[in-house]
Amino acid sequence: MLLIAFIALLVAGIVKGAIGSGVPVIVVPILTMLYDVQLAIALLVAPNLFSNALQVWQYRRHLLPLRFLAAFSIAGGLGIVLALGISRFISRNTVTGCRGCDRALPDHQSDETSYRPAF
C-alpha cells in the first residue's frame, strides 16, 4: 500500500506541473481509499510543508504583506485542527461519498471577468 501511495504522489507531481493541482485531485482520494482519513492527512503533512516552504523561498520577493500571511496561516491551522477533530466522528463511507462534492456543485460566480482557465 505504501508503494501505491508513493506512485500517487509521483503522479500528483506530474499533474501539478500540468494543471497546477495534484495532491487534492490525485493523492487525497487514493490515500483515503487505502488508509483512514487521519493517517492520510498525516502522510501528506511533510510533502505539503516541504513543497510550500520551497515555493515561499523561491518567490520570497513577491510575498504578500505579513499581516495577510499571518491571518491566512492562522486560519489554515484552525481549519486543519477542526477537520482533524471532525474526522474522528465521520465514517470512511461519508468521506468517500463527499470526495469531489465541490467539483459537482454548480459555479455561482456570475462575474464575466473572473479568471477561467482556457483549455
**CB proximity list for 5: less than 8 A, separation 6 or greater:** 27, 30, 31, 34, 35, 43
Q: For residue 63, report the phi and psi dihedrals to the nearest 5 degrees.
A: -65, 150
Amino acid at 88: R
Please tell me the distance from the alpha carbon of residue 45 to that of residue 106, in angstroms, as a whole number.
30
- How do residues 81-114 score in pLDDT, each as one tens digit? 888 788 778 776 776 666 656 555 555 554 444 4
- pTM flag (> 0.75): no
- How do residues 11-42 score in pLDDT, each as one tens digit? 877 777 676 667 777 777 788 788 877 787 78
Asked whether 31 and 43 are in contact (CB, 8 A), the reply is yes
